[in-house]
Amino acid sequence: MPSVQANGIDINYDVQGTGEPLVLIPYLAADHACYAFQVAEYAKHYTCFSVDLRGAGLSGKPEGTYTTELLADDIAAFMQATAIERAHVFGLSLGAAAGMWLAAKHPERVKSLSLHSAWTASDPFLRAVVESWQTMAQALASVPEMIIQGIFPWCFTPEMYTARPEYVDSLAEFVRGRPAAPVDAFIRQSGAVLAHDATAVLGSIQAPTLITFGRHDLVCSTRFAAPLSEAIGNSEVIVFEDCSHAPIYENVEGFNRPTLDFLQRHSG
C-alpha cells in the first residue's frame, strides 16, 4: 500500500479505479478495506482513494488528543500530498463526521459529500454507547474482539444475525484479518467521536450532500436527520428501511445503487 506524509503523520491508503477522484474515509477503528463492497462497484466509475485514518490501519498513531476536525485536516493534507485538487468525499459514522468538517473548512476541495450514519454532535446516548466500547476494549485488551462483541450488535439488525449467521461470522473473520489498532489508539480515536460537535460549521458546507441512515440504527438514528438536512443547504436524505448502522454490509446492493446514483448526478 502507498503512504504519504501529511499533517505530520504517515497516511496509508489504497487506490483503485479510474475517473473523478472519490475519497473514502473509514469509520471508527477500521482501515481502508472497510469499504471493499463499495469500492468494487464505485471503482468502475471513479478513482477511489481509501485512506487509513490517524489511529487505525497502517497510518500514524501519535499520542495526543484526536478530534474529528483534526481528522478532517489530515484528509485535506492527504489530498494536497497526493495532488487531489477536488474530490467526491464519502464517509460512514466517524468517516462522515470527518467528512463534514472537511467540507466545511475546505469547501473548494469537496465536489460532493456523502454522509452515511452521521450525527451533528454527540449526545448523552451516543456517548454512553461509545464509552461502553472503550470499557470493553480495555477489558478484552483487543480492539478486533471489542468490535465483534461490542460494536457489531449496534451495526446489524437482529434479523441479520438470525438469517445470515455465516455472513456475520465472515465479517468477524474479516475484522480479525485486518491490521489491529492498539487499545490506546482506539481510545484516542473514539475520543474524537465522544467530542464531535459540528453544529456551528454545518451551514458552511456548500457541496451537494447525501445523508443516509439505517431505519433501525440506534446510535446514529434518524433523530439526526433533520438537524443535518436543515443545516446543510443542498442536501437530500435516504433511509434504508431494513438496516441498522452499517447498510454498507447489511444490504450491499440496496446501499450501492442509490449512493452511486447520487455520485453520478454530481459528476462531470
DSSP string, 111-124: EEEEEES--SB--H
pLDDT for the residue numbered 1: 81
Boundaries of every domain in the chain: 3-265
Class of the 3-265 domain? Answer: alpha beta
Q: How far apart are alpha carbons 203 and 193 in whole angstroms?
A: 20
pLDDT (tens digit per residue) in 61-72 = 999 999 999 999
**Alpha helices (H) in the chain, listed in sequence order:** 36-42, 68-81, 94-105, 124-140, 143-146, 152-155, 158-163, 165-177, 183-195, 225-231, 247-250, 252-265
Beta bridge partners of 13: 51
**Rounded CA separation 109/254 (Å):** 28
pTM assigned to the model: 0.98
Residue 132 identity: S
Residues of the chain with pLDDT under 70: none
Closest CA to 240 of 221, 223, 227, 224: 221
Tell me what pLDDT residue 35 has.
98
Cβ neighbours of residue 241 closer than 8 Å, sequence gap 6 or more: 215
With beta carbons less than 8 A apart as the criterion, state whether 259 and 114 touch: yes
Tell me what pLDDT residue 203 has: 98
Q: What is the pLDDT of residue 2?
A: 96
Say if CB 235 and CB 141 are below 8 A apart. no
